Amino acid sequence: MKNSRETGISSITGKVLYIRHANESERIDIADILKKRAGKFLDISEADIVVASQGARLLGFAVLTKNAGGVSGRLNLYESGRRRGFSREMLRHLFDYSTVKHVAADRVSARHLRSMGFRRGKGEVYEAAA
């Protein structure tokens, strides 16, 4: 059997996992999820958002809110269930298309950033390797 990490096809369900940028309806759903988690509305209109889905089911997302200039930002990562292995792939897709070099991240996101070559700066900030 082929490796599911290479093919994107689940070895259990046989379904394909898609990782792509969010469309407008998904951005609205994600804004609602973030509002429930943070207790306040977060403006993600200019944010880069990547989703992981199986068919119509949203499995996870990564939101990169950029600061002025687009060089630094804040990362929010959400994955339904834990340790499924697609968070790193979402982040890889996100940073392939982003100009951000300095990222503020929580503990969970930081682990994935370090595995991608980011190094810890001051506080919660991680910097892209040169």
- Positions of the chain with pLDDT lower than 50, given as ranges: 1
Query: Residue 124's pLDDT is what?
Result: 77
The answer to whether residues 127 and 118 touch, using CB atoms and an 8 Å cutoff, is: yes
Of 85, 11, 78, 70, nearest to 51 by C-alpha is: 78
Q: What is the pLDDT of residue 22?
A: 93
Helix (H, G, I), strand (E, B) or coil at 39: coil
Q: Which domains does the chain have, with CATH numbers?
A: 17-127 (3.40.630.30)
Confidence (pLDDT) at 87: 84
Classify each residue of 15-49 as buried b or exposed e, where b means 16 or more C-beta atoms within 10 Å of its C-beta.
eebebeebeeebbeebbeebeeeeeeebebeebbb
Nearest CA-CA partner of 106 in 79, 87, 125: 125
CA separation for the pair 15, 11 (Å, rounded): 8
Task: Find out whether 58 and 33 touch, Cβ atoms under 8 Å.
Answer: no
The predicted pLDDT at position 49 comes to: 93
Amino acid 48: pLDDT:
92
- Which of 54, 72, 52, 53 is CA-nearest to residue 64? 72
